Amino acid sequence: MKIAVLHGQLHKGSTYHITHMFLDKLNCAKEDTSEFYVNHINSCVGCFQCVMKGEDTCPHRSQIEEMITAIEAADVIIIDSPTYVLSMSGQLKTFFDHMGYRYISHRPHPSMKKKIGVAISTTAGAGADKTTKQIASQMFWWSVGKIYRFPVTVAAMNWNEMSEKRKTKAERKAARLAKAIQHKHGRVKPGIKARFMFFIMKQMHKDMDYSPLDMKFWKDQGWI
Ligand SMILES: Cc1cc2nc3c(=O)[nH]c(=O)nc-3n(C[C@H](O)[C@H](O)[C@H](O)COP(=O)(O)O)c2cc1C
């Protein structure tokens, strides 16, 4: 099982440790796991070049290419972020902005529908549920076939302050999630919402030629 991990923060706090707790439960070979941080990525400049002319024309392509290649080669995509003001970190959102061309409305990677996504967030008190929903939603729009969420309330400002009781509870949850994913691996089928969305997009690409590149992509895949 190949795993790509994207950390929405550079520091190794509660979020990083919860993600690693979960990785330990998944028990995959080190060489099958690639980890990335998103902090160095410049903000999207809104040039639309990725959509209209191709992703290689993005002025920041060299900052994101390696992680996108790993995501597209992975069976499981894990994305984490601390909850900041009831949302994901700004740097993670910046990464997601650069993935707009991979939305189902443009050029979703054909392998995505067989993949498993995991959205992880920690919060001191409130918001991790919302943050994992936001991360999961991004993966849904990439066409990821099955997405799990793992929100954790740590009641702390850092990993050392998190109580043993809460750590044990999180560990049990991580173990259950890992088991579910091991079972699901190789059996992912997109749900009804994803299939409906694909149908709508198919009609759109048949009828509208707003991006010749997108239309060609859908034709090349044999989808229209
Ligand atoms: C800028 C900032 C914003 C935060 N916003 C919230 C928040 O909206 N709700 C909350 O309960 N905790 C909030 N927190 C606390 C963190 O979500 C919490 O401590 C989290 O576990 C930090 O993860 P980390 O150790 O990986 O950085 C915030 C912390 C920071 C630094």
pLDDT of residue 93: 98
> Does the residue 211 lie in any domain?
no
Q: Give the domain range for residue 183.
A: 3-191
Binned at pLDDT 50, 70 and 90, residue 206 comes out as: confident
Q: Is the CB of 157 under 6 A from ligand 1?
A: yes
> Does the residue 207 lie in any domain?
no
pLDDT of residue 156: 96
pLDDT of residue 68: 98
Does 209 have pLDDT greater than 80?
A: no
Report how far ligand 1's centroid is from the alpha carbon of 130 (Å).
13
The model's pLDDT over 9-50, given as tens digits with 9 standing for 90+, comes to 999 999 999 999 999 999 989 899 999 999 999 999 999 999
Q: Is the CB of 175 under 6 A from ligand 1?
A: no
> Does the residue 48 lie in any domain?
yes
Nearest atom of ligand 1 to the alpha carbon of 158? 25
The domain tally of the chain equals 1
Does 106 have pLDDT greater than 90?
A: yes
Q: Is the CB of 125 under 6 A from ligand 1?
A: yes
CATH value at residue 170: 3.40.50.360
Report how far ligand 1's centroid is from the alpha carbon of 181 (Å).
27
Q: Whose CA is nearest to atom 20 of ligand 1?
A: 123
Provide DSSP, 129-197: HHHHHHHHHHHHHTT-SEEEEEEEE--SSSGGGS-HHHHHHHHHHHHHHHHHHHHHTT-----HHHHHH
Give the number of other Cβ atoms within 10 Å of residue 89's Cβ.
23
> Does the residue 31 lie in any domain?
yes
> Does the residue 221 lie in any domain?
no
pTM reported for the whole predicted model: 0.97
Instruction: Return the amino acid letter for 26.
Output: L
Q: Is the CB of 186 under 6 A from ligand 1?
A: no
Average pLDDT over residues 60-72: 98
> Does the residue 171 lie in any domain?
yes
> Does the residue 164 lie in any domain?
yes
Q: Is the CB of 14 under 6 A from ligand 1?
A: yes
Binned at pLDDT 50, 70 and 90, residue 166 comes out as: very high
Q: Find where tokens 């749900």 sit.
A: 191
